[in-house]
Chains A and B, each alone.
Chain A
Amino acid sequence: GNSVTQMEGPVTLSEEAFLTINCTYTATGYPSLFWYVQYPGEGLQLLLKATKADDKGSNKGFEATYRKETTSFHLEKGSVQVSDSAVYFCALSASGAGSYQLTFGKGTKLSVIP
């Protein structure tokens, strides 16, 4: 079946530090890949997505590249801010039948300190 494995947290960084959160996946075919973010007290929000190999998703300074050869979709940001403190979830939706269903990783909690 489909699965997503992401770096366990929590991760604590100082403001302006470089962020990487690793995500690898197992899926048949050509899944779409997503990063969702959950800020304290809020619902899940789509951060970025990529729908085919070598696509780069980007938003709010975050980037992730769909690497089919390594089945990875690592999240990066060059300079984090305190406001980036949140839980980050990597997710996939399979191609074909059942493509509406998202499979999530366990989440990585990021805390950014001033």
Chain B
Amino acid sequence: GAVVSQHPSRVICKSGTSVKIECRSLDFQATTMFWYRQFPKKSLMLMATSNEGSKATYEQGVEKDKFLINHASLTLSTLTVTSAHPEDSSFYICSAIGRGNFENTEAFFGQGTRLTVV
């Protein structure tokens, strides 16, 4: 399957600071990327959908000013958690769909980023 790389895999930050998470599609062009968050022993919750070159679409209840998403190229999307607080501590996962050598309907996932805000 296609490869989606997420960086960093783990990050610890102080309360009030911002953290950027990168999601890259390594062997295909990702026309759409999704960002999820997952709390312990819970399922994945979709936060937002981003299409290359346009503004992200956020799910209900997700603060767009707090979770900034940029999808400036067909291989990179970033999620920035601004003014992080301990309740933002979670497992963040990106997913990508795109053109390339694979059907453009399968979504491939990054390995996730565990954010801890102290």
A and B part of one assembly: no
Q: List residues of chain B with CB under 8 Å of any chain A CB.
A: none
